Structure 1
Amino acid sequence: MTTKQENIRLLASLGIAGVLVAVILGLVSKFSPEIQSTPNSMVTPRGSSRAPTPEWMSLGEKLLVTADKTDNKEAGVNAVKSGDFGTAVIKFQASLQTMRNDPETLIYLNNAKIANSKALKVGVIAPIGNSLNEAKETLRGVAQAQDEINNGGGINGVPLQLEISNLNSFDQLDKIDNELVKDANLVAVVGFGRNEELYKKNGLVRVSPGSSRNQMGQNQAQAYGDSKYVFNISPNREIFNQALAEYIVKKERRTNIAICRDTSFRTSQDTSNQDRSNQERLNQDIVKEYTEFITKAGGKVTATDCDLGAANFRANDVIPKAISDGAEALLLIPRTSSLNVAVDVARANRNRLTLFGSQQLYSERILKFGQGDIKGMVVPVPWHRDANRSMDKGNSFADRALKLWGGDVSPRTATAYDAMQVIIAGLKENSTRQGLQKVLSNPNFSAMGATGKIQFSASGQRQGGVFLARIEPCEPGKPCASSTGYNFVLVQ
């Protein structure tokens, strides 16, 4: 009887132990995904549970550039959405056969090739809904960088994955910034933003293709801080202004310069008085900077009043007044909204004054409408397709871009490419958020890109990196990068 009772007690104990083991295993199974840590340098595979992203953010599961939609591209997006990456690769490749210059498809193709493997994830902010051409130029730069590094074996053997965020309006910047910084798998961001302190607080590096002085609503506090998390590929506005001012006086030997600027601020009615005040002050600062640089170089600015945005402005009145004021040259500083007015001034000039222009005049639109009236005008640019070509003949960035996209690319594409080159170079040394920031902050850090050697100042600003280009007619019988008959020629 005693033995029977002991057997019953043993069986009961084993039963209770079995129940406890089952409960523990169930709990481990339920909570282990949450307690297992994924290194912040690696993306969580897309096969695992992942919080849904906003409709304006995509790794390939959403079509953001609808203007470049093809049946194959749409099929590729649907395949990514269902986790069928093999089909996605085939469909994206087919889409590129019919639309080779579509950067979104190339990005999604390279992401699909990664499938559920580990990868280094970088966010890209592109104004698809606000300025499609600008967005596609930016995406071409980052897509080319991703394509090159992944085809070359990745970053220390790890592929690069890009996630696109569509900026529909500048009011959306805060929302995008907040979404990006909270993604622990993201190691860096390419693009402009509004809140530098947010990136610093969350330890996330952002590399902008532009400069700190021409980005809408950007906080300048970082320039005075000790730890930088935002780096700019394009030099500050002052560096462009200084380069052109010194060229005018020291190289072209023009010592009396008239300046045409635009003091108007055309925008929506709900723009705040503060924004208007900031824009007016910015306009004044630009004229002041040019005046100071011209004076320091040994020249002077005439008292000619030339406001391209004035309601009663007459282009035909400007040149005689400037000449009577002693001007030998005319510097045009229009807004984007007054480019046509600047062309009117150039037309009225009839080659009497030597023409110079700000960065805004570096566009095919100016070549198209200016034609012979703007011949000889010199403008400062962040990149030129002939820059650095002699260093790597036949295999320069411009050559590779031409082969990849089937045409010449813009300076924005080059600076976006360089933003990725900086991140790639940094990740090769350290693939964590914190490590990348330390690498890029090192005063000895440098990277080679389309715009040459890239180095940053103590405040994260690009050092050097300014080129000058002159508008010249295309040579008969020779290839011309522009369809207008005129071209921007690098000033040696």
Structure 2
Amino acid sequence: MLISAIVLAVPLLIGIGILVGLKINQPTPELQTEPIVSQTLSSSDDNERFSIGERTVFPETNYSRDILSCNQKFQKQSYGEAANCFQELVKANRNEPEPLIYYNNSLARERDNPLRIVVVVPVDRNRNRAQEILRGVAQAQNEYNQNNYLLPNTRLLEIMIANDSNDDQISPKVAQEIVERTDILGVIGHNDSSSSKAALKVYEAKGLAMVASTSTSTELKGEVFFRTTINNSVLSKKAR
């Protein structure tokens, strides 16, 4: 698992660099702190599909009971306390990416004016794959924030986790929720090529950058689309 996280972290760092580089010098939109209010998903479904630290997206884990108090501190915007709480979870759950992401999100919120990127994964459809991707994301985010934490007036990176269930009927709805926010720099995902293709149409309409680290379909292309993995045509040539 550690090796796969390291392998994924490299293209994800590249992806994060692409997204940050695209907009870091543009005017900063006002950070939206309220929960996403869904126009296309039911409220209960929406609450379960997005999190920056106010809830866990993996309710059945060995840390699920302990993370609730951390989530509550984050909800109250007590970001220093939330960071300390999530940090303890990280120490006790070294292989779990979610606490590490929320720890860094708390640091980013405490610093104020974070750079926000969304990573879309199939939390409930393919949990192992979702966690594998999130391990790479968590490592990349942690490296970025640790390298910039001591630099004054430097914005830290915040990761919003979104769940599209690897479903091409749900992914465009999730994408629509994302583009309705003005504080998103870009999207890493989606995992499945068909889900990515369905969501890409939404991102293209709004001009929001999308970086694919796992989708390999050659049909995925466009002005807002970036790829950090080889596509199917290259894979087929290598297989010959």
Coarse TM-score class (shorter-chain normalised): 0.7 to 0.9
CA–CA distance in structure 2, aligned partners of residues 143 and 43 of structure 1: 25
- CA contact under 8 A between 2:56 and 2:64: conserved in structure 1? no
Higher relative contact order (CA 8 A, sep 6+): 2
Tell me what 1:185 maps to: 183
- Alpha-carbon deviation of 1:43? 5.6
- CA contact under 8 A between 1:123 and 1:164: conserved in structure 2? yes
- 1:52-91 alignment runs, 5 A limit: 52-53=36-37, 54-55=46-47, 56-68=49-61, 69-91=63-85
CA–CA distance in structure 1, aligned partners of residues 29 and 131 of structure 2: 27
The SS at the match of 1:179 is helix
Alpha carbons of 1:195 and 1:70: their partners in 2 closer, same or farther (altered >3 Å)? Answer: closer
Alpha carbons of 1:51 and 1:108: their partners in 2 closer, same or farther (altered >3 Å)? Answer: closer
- CA contact under 8 A between 1:110 and 1:161: conserved in structure 2? yes
Instruction: Give the alignment's TM-score, normalised by structure 2.
Output: 0.74
- Alpha-carbon deviation of 1:211? 3.5
Q: Percent identity?
A: 25
Tell me what 1:161 maps to: 158
1:147 to 142, 145, 166: 142
Tell me what 1:435 maps to: none
2:107 aligned with 1:120: no
Tell me what 2:127 maps to: 132
The CA deviation string for residues 91-116 of structure 1, in whole angstroms up to 9 with x for no partner, is: 11111122111101100000111225
2:226 aligned with 1:239: no
- CA contact under 8 A between 2:29 and 2:182: conserved in structure 1? no
Tell me what 1:4 maps to: none
Alpha carbons of 1:83 and 1:183: their partners in 2 closer, same or farther (altered >3 Å)? Answer: same
- Alpha-carbon deviation of 1:70? 3.9
- Alpha-carbon deviation of 1:186? 0.3
CA–CA distance in structure 2, aligned partners of residues 90 and 205 of structure 1: 33
The SS at the match of 2:148 is coil
CA–CA distance in structure 2, aligned partners of residues 236 and 111 of structure 1: 32
Alpha carbons of 1:167 and 1:45: their partners in 2 closer, same or farther (altered >3 Å)? Answer: closer
**Bigger radius of gyration:** 1
- CA contact under 8 A between 1:40 and 1:185: conserved in structure 2? no
- CA contact under 8 A between 1:122 and 1:160: conserved in structure 2? yes
- 1:14-413 alignment runs, 5 A limit: 41-42=28-29, 44=31, 46=33, 50-53=34-37, 54-55=46-47, 56-68=49-61, 69-116=63-110, 117-153=112-148, 157-170=154-167, 171-192=169-190, 193=196, 194-213=198-217, 220=219, 223=221, 228-245=223-240
CA–CA distance in structure 1, aligned partners of residues 32 and 140 of structure 2: 22
Alpha carbons of 1:40 and 1:210: their partners in 2 closer, same or farther (altered >3 Å)? Answer: farther
CA–CA distance in structure 1, aligned partners of residues 235 and 35 of structure 2: 44
- Alpha-carbon deviation of 1:244? 2.6
Moved over 6 A (4+): none
CA–CA distance in structure 1, aligned partners of residues 141 and 225 of structure 2: 21
- Alpha-carbon deviation of 1:202? 0.4
Q: CA RMSD in A?
A: 2.2
Instruction: Give the alignment's TM-score, normalised by structure 1.
Output: 0.37
CA–CA distance in structure 1, aligned partners of residues 92 and 123 of structure 2: 21
The CA deviation string for residues 324-371 of structure 1, in whole angstroms up to 9 with x for no partner, is: xxxxxxxxxxxxxxxxxxxxxxxxxxxxxxxxxxxxxxxxxxxxxxxx
CA–CA distance in structure 1, aligned partners of residues 200 and 80 of structure 2: 39
- Alpha-carbon deviation of 1:45? 6.2
Alpha carbons of 1:92 and 1:139: their partners in 2 closer, same or farther (altered >3 Å)? Answer: same
CA–CA distance in structure 2, aligned partners of residues 91 and 184 of structure 1: 29
- CA contact under 8 A between 2:32 and 2:183: conserved in structure 1? no
The SS at the match of 2:73 is helix
Alpha carbons of 1:51 and 1:87: their partners in 2 closer, same or farther (altered >3 Å)? Answer: closer
CA–CA distance in structure 1, aligned partners of residues 35 and 75 of structure 2: 14
Alpha carbons of 1:158 and 1:136: their partners in 2 closer, same or farther (altered >3 Å)? Answer: same
- Alpha-carbon deviation of 1:196? 2.2
Alpha carbons of 1:78 and 1:187: their partners in 2 closer, same or farther (altered >3 Å)? Answer: same
- CA contact under 8 A between 1:72 and 1:91: conserved in structure 2? no
Unaligned runs of 5+ in 1: 1-38, 215-219, 246-492
CA–CA distance in structure 1, aligned partners of residues 98 and 104 of structure 2: 10
